[in-house]
Copies of this chain bind each other. A is one copy, B any other.
Amino acid sequence: MSRSRIKRIGILTGGGDCPGLNAVIRGVAKAAIRRSGAEMVGILDGFQGLVERRVIPLDWEAVSGILTQGGTILGTNNKADPFRYPVPDGQGKTAVQDVSDAVVKYIREIGLDILVCIGGDGTMTIAHQMSLKGIPIVGVPKTIDNDIAETDITFGFNSAMTTAAEAIDKIHSTAMSHHRVMIVEVMGRYAGWLALESGLAAGGDVILIPEIPFRISQIAAEVRRRSEHGRKFSIIVAAEGARPEGGEMIVRRTVADSPDPVRLGGIGQNVAEGLEEATGLECRVTVLGHLQRGGVPTPFDRVLSTRFGVKAAELCVSGASGVMVALRGREIIAVPLSRVDGKTRTIPPDHKLIEVAREVGTCFGD
C-alpha cells in the first residue's frame, strides 16, 4: 500500500435522495483506506454539515454492510448552498447569505486534503465553485433523471427506471381489465430519460418527454387507432416536465386565493383532462413521486456506484482535483467540473432510443 500526500479525505452527499449513495460512500472509503491509509471524514447533511461543523469519522467498519441500503448514512440536504445559504432575516422570513469563506476555513481547520462531493447538478455547481476557491474537489454525479452532462449514465438511474417500469407493469393489468387510458407521471423536469427508458421497458404506448412537445390531438389519434385495432386500453408514460406544443396547458382549474392564479395538477392530470375531452375515454393518473428515489439500489447500480466510488478514491489519492468521475462507454473517466457546471444533458431529438421506440410503435405525441 503506497502512502500518498493525501492524509484526510472529506465526503458528503448533497441534493435529493438516490439509490446507490451508500454504495458510493463505501466504495470511496474502502478504496481510499486500502490505497493510501487515508483517514475518511463523513460530513453530515451535505454542505449544511460544513456550515454547521458536523462531521463524523468513517472507518472500514462504518461503511461495511451499507452497500445495499437505500438513502445515505451521511444524510443530505438540497437547500444548503454555501454561496446562497438560507438564514433568517430577523423579520420571520428567510434571506440568503454567502458563507463559503467560513466553509473554506472550516475545511482547512479540520485538515481535509480533498473533498468528495456526491450529488446532482446543483451539487456539482457548488463543488465547482468551491474548487475555484482553492478547495481540491472530486465530484461524483448522482441523478435519477440522468441529466448530468459529460457522463453516459449516473448511478441511481437504473434503480429509478426499474421502479418506474415495475410500477407501469402493475398498472398494465388495470388498464387492460378496465379498457382505460392509464397515465403514469414519472420524474424528469428537463430531461426525459426516465420516461423514455421506463416507457420502452414497460411497453408504454405513448411516451411524453420535455424534449418533444406533444399535441393532445396526436395522442388522442393514437389512442383511437389502438382502439380500432382491438386494443381498448393505452398506457401513457409522461415525464413531469413534458409540455404541449406552444406550451399551453390544458387544465383550466386555478387556485383562487393565490395572488397569481396558478394552474393545478401536474402534467399527468393535464393530459388526462385534455384526453378525456378529446376522446370521451376514461383516463386515470398515477404520480410515482418519491417511490422513484428510494429503496435498495439495483445490482446494476451497486456495481456502478462502487466503480464511481473507487475511481473517486483513486483520483483523490493521485492528487487530481476539480474533476468529476464519469462513465464514458465502458470506462470510468475524470472530466473537469467546469465542463459540467451549468449544463443539462437532455435527449437529442434524433437519439437512437427514440428511433427504437418509434420502430416498436411508440407514439411521442408529435
Q: Which residues 222-256 in A have Cβ within 8 Å of B in the complex? A: 230-231, 252-256
Q: B252–A257 contact, CB under 8 A? A: yes
Q: Does A163 contact B (CB under 8 A)?
A: yes
List of B residues within 8 angstroms of A278 by Cβ: none
Min CB distance A338 to B, Å, is 24
Q: Does A200 contact B (CB under 8 A)?
A: yes
Q: How far is the CA of A353 from the CA of B30 in the complex (A)?
A: 15
Q: B17–A177 contact, CB under 8 A? A: yes
Q: A174–B290 contact, CB under 8 A? A: yes
Q: A166–B299 contact, CB under 8 A? A: yes
Q: Which of A67, A173, A255 has the most CB of B within 10 A?
A: A173
Q: Which of A161, A198, A286 has the most CB of B within 10 A?
A: A286
List of B residues within 8 angstroms of A34 by Cβ: 359-361
What is A's interface to B at a CB cutoff of 8 Å? 13, 16-17, 19, 21, 26-27, 30-31, 34-35, 45, 61, 64-65, 67-72, 75-78, 152, 158, 161-163, 165-167, 169-174, 176-179, 182, 197-198, 200-203, 230-231, 252-258, 261, 264, 284-287, 289-291, 293-295, 298-300, 302-303, 306-307, 309-310, 313, 329-332, 352-353, 356, 359-361
